[in-house]
Chain A
Amino acid sequence: MNDQIVTGSDPGAGADAGGRRIGVYVCQCGGNISDYVSVDDVVAAVKDEPGVVVARTAMFTCSDATQQEIINDIQDQGLDGIVVASCSPKLHTFTFREMSKRAGLNPYEYTQVNIREQCSWTHTDDKAGATGKAARLVRAGIARTSLTEPLEPIVVETVPNVVVIGGGIAGMRAALGLAEIGLAVFLVEKEAELGGWAAGFAEMYPHGRDGRDLVTRLEERIRRHPGITVFTDAEVVGKSGSFGKYEVGIQVGREQAEAPAPKTQPPGTPKPEISRPGMPQLGTPEPGAITVKAGSIVVATGFDSYEPQEGEFGYGLDGVLTLPEFKRLVDSSDGPLAYGGRPVRTIVYIYCVGSRQAEGNEYCSRYCCTAAIHSSLQVATRDAAPVSRYHLYRDIRSYGRYEPLYNESREKGDLYLRFPDEEPPVVAQASSGDGGGATTAKDGDAGHGYRLTVTTRDLLTDGAELLIPADLVVLVTGMVPRENDDLVKVLKLPVGNDGFFNEIHPKLRPVETVVDGVFICGACQGPKNSTEAVASGLAAVTQSASILKRGYAELDPLIAVVDPDTCEWCGLCLEACPYEAPRRVEQDQEAAGGADQEGVDHRGADADHRGADTDHRKMVAVIDRVACKGCGGCVPVCPRNAIDLLGYTDAQMRAMIDGLLQEPTPCRM
């Protein structure tokens, strides 16, 4: 493990770095780095940098054993700064912050240097160059570390209330989950009734239960629960305050909602005391605008069904239905399927309508294959006379546990025809002579006039061109994002290229957004079936609970700070800030301005810059420590250079540049 240990023998080595004692760990990553970067040369190049007292390589720095060795070094050698040169900070920043904490070192005294993604992997053809670059990067990391200072997380009190926006199956289940763990919930639904899409479905896969029953039972539990206040015909029209105790404006009642609603209450207006933890309001709220306090907001605004263009796959012709329209037809009776007063003998399904388009909606809508197959099976088993079912598809994605449904449908005679992407099926009105009107007596369909014909090429039958007479053509339409521009503006929700809301990380942080305390779940963040929507709703419950149940949350302290002596309020920082974090205050109130965040621990670099000039009455900027996300957007626009970003101060950036510009090290690899 200890491939090379270089311990600074000169006890005065750290003198010219302000007496810092820094440990440097260069990772081999089991060859990922060391195959292209001579890690020993990197250690040799940086071991005499100012402040460095330990420099060594490790096979896997992130391994438990190496972490323990670093902890031992921190404690035995009295290290006050750590540089880990390994992979992307996205991977192990929290690993080594936690390691630092276990060693008794402030986690913000540690610097991650990326010599894998940004060095060894990108320069596999140039070992000498990669080694030189790695040495420069590590030197820059050491230079940054020599100027770090201990920082404490920003502690924010949180209100144990949650606003859930959207009363579909995901929002309803989330509301119930939140209430059951003791949080007060305000469930806001735009429509007059709860239930969303699921309330309109009868039998749903995979359990065959009725969607209407599911929603009814869920609603009964919600209405019974004393912790949930339901607002129907209501919309969220405003959000103010900061993370932990947002004030959410809710407009109840349609008429009022159409009038321009004030974003926030005028100052001095008494706010209705709707939100009393543990004592939520019962009954139906009166129409009007109200404001509630909320520690978190769960967005579950759902999806819209893709609406085909007039003429797209014959849409607009009698008998051409979208998937939701077809489901309503199937659910409307238990008997044999009939349309327009006539029995349905042949159904053609066309898949991927509005999904997986070359231009437009590029995504797969996930639910539609299985939903169409499920509906087809419902139809298949109802009629004594056979109903021919042709599925014109590009790829069937009955993933996971829905594959047996696809197998069952093929066994029951559903016929799947694969059409080429570049030659989609053509739907037309039937006319006599092309199979429409009446087919030949020998087929036993005498007298059955078909409404429609579908021409398609079947790649599974030698690419033969086929003409299918049909009673119904079902366009298996996908999901599209719901139009929610007003809500996006109110909550500053991040919207992806496809129009759905974006989470921070699709795998590791799937319901969190870049706005602290605002979570997304269900189909508003991308196509999902009801099972997946409910699962993500419950994920939003646990994420809300994790910040609300203990009464406080911790935020990263890597935020912007203003030097009030240099600042002469010009407002440019406020213009540059996407989060409206800078506020204009009188300089001698600047301390009070920062301190009105209850529970906020002041460790900002500005803390000791205030003089005793009480006569001085100039206006300065103060950054709201909770609203600031540490993006740094305000730093370069400040004409007086009064803003610094903790963890990335100007002094640190200059030191890093100096480190990068030093001569590279020779490579002996």
Chain B
Amino acid sequence: MSAGVNGATLVRPALAGRVGALEEFNASACMNCGVCTAVCPMGIEVLPRRLFRYVLLGMEDQVLEQIESIYSCLLCKMCEVNCPAGVHIAENVRSLRHHINRTVFGL
């Protein structure tokens, strides 16, 4: 198989950098345990860990498909206080909203 065929998604490392400085957007520490999903009072459809991986891998189209979920979050931080890897989940969502506000809604 040669690279680039079969519709493989191009990884763009710069997206994570634009969403927030790497130290603040710290989703790479995630270990995929799923506690965040289990404790979410909103039962948000997209798993936070999946959303953040889209960001880290620069899969912008997949991120933008989740705008509904991203803005449904209450920022209650239930997930964040329960995260065993210390990921700033709610803060990451805020960073994402900030990015979308600027790039999509022109705010």
What is the interface of chain A, defined by CB distance below 8 A to chain B? 345-346, 386, 388, 390, 407, 410-416, 426, 428, 430, 433-436, 439-440, 442-445, 453-455, 458, 460-462, 464-469
Interchain CB contact under 8 A, A413 and B22? yes
Interchain CB contact under 8 A, B50 and A462? yes
8 Å CB contact of B9 from A345, A411, A464:
A464
Docked pose: A436 CA to B22 CA in angstroms: 24
Measured between C-beta atoms, what is the minimum distance from A302 to chain B in Å?
35
22 A-B pairs within 8 Å (CB atoms) are namely: A388-B13, A407-B85, A410-B31, A412-B22, A413-B16, A413-B28, A415-B56, A416-B28, A428-B2, A428-B3, A440-B12, A443-B12, A443-B13, A443-B58, A444-B17, A455-B1, A455-B3, A455-B4, A460-B53, A465-B7, A467-B4, A467-B9
Docked pose: A444 CA to B19 CA in angstroms: 13
Measured between C-beta atoms, what is the minimum distance from B59 to chain A in Å?
7
Interchain CB contact under 8 A, A454 and B58? no
- Knowing A407-B29, A415-B28, say if A390 contacts B11 (CB, 8 Å): yes
B: number of interface residues (CB 8 Å): 34
- Knowing A434-B4, A464-B59, A465-B6, say if A444 contacts B14 (CB, 8 Å): yes
B57 at the binding interface (Cβ < 8 Å): yes
Docked pose: A390 CA to B57 CA in angstroms: 9
From DSSP, what is the main secondary structure of chain B's interface residues? loop
Q: Which of B10, B13, B14, B56 has the most CB of A within 10 A?
A: B13
In residues 6-47 of chain B, which contact A (Cβ within 8 Å)? Answer: 6-18, 22, 26, 28-32
8 Å CB contact of A433 from B4, B15, B86:
B4
Please name all residues of chain A whose beta carbon is closer than 8 Å to the beta carbon of B6 when the two chains form the complex.
Answer: 465
Please name all residues of chain B whose beta carbon is closer than 8 Å to the beta carbon of A453 when the two chains form the complex.
Answer: 3-4
A390 (CB) vs chain B CBs: closest residue: B11
Please name all residues of chain A whose beta carbon is closer than 8 Å to the beta carbon of B1 when the two chains form the complex.
Answer: 426, 455
Interchain CB contact under 8 A, B85 and A465? no
Q: Which of A345, A346, A416, A443 has the most CB of B within 10 A?
A: A443
Interchain CB contact under 8 A, A386 and B22? yes
- Knowing A434-B4, A453-B3, say if A410 contacts B28 (CB, 8 Å): yes
8 Å CB contact of B50 from A386, A410, A461:
A461
A443 (CB) vs chain B CBs: closest residue: B14
Interchain CB contact under 8 A, A411 and B3? no
Docked pose: A443 CA to B58 CA in angstroms: 9
Q: Which of B4, B11, B29 has the most CB of A within 10 A?
A: B11
A461 (CB) vs chain B CBs: closest residue: B53
Interchain CB contact under 8 A, B28 and A467? no
Top 9 A-B residue pairs of the complex, sorted by shortest distance between their CB atoms: A434-B4, A388-B13, A453-B3, A443-B14, A467-B8, A428-B3, A465-B8, A468-B11, A410-B29
8 Å CB contact of B32 from A435, A460, A465:
A460
A442 (CB) vs chain B CBs: closest residue: B14
Interchain CB contact under 8 A, B4 and A435? yes
- Knowing A411-B29, A461-B50, say if A469 contacts B11 (CB, 8 Å): yes
B1 (CB) vs chain A CBs: closest residue: A426
Measured between C-beta atoms, what is the minimum distance from A532 to chain B in Å?
26
Please name all residues of chain B whose beta carbon is closer than 8 Å to the beta carbon of A412 when the two chains form the complex.
Answer: 22, 28
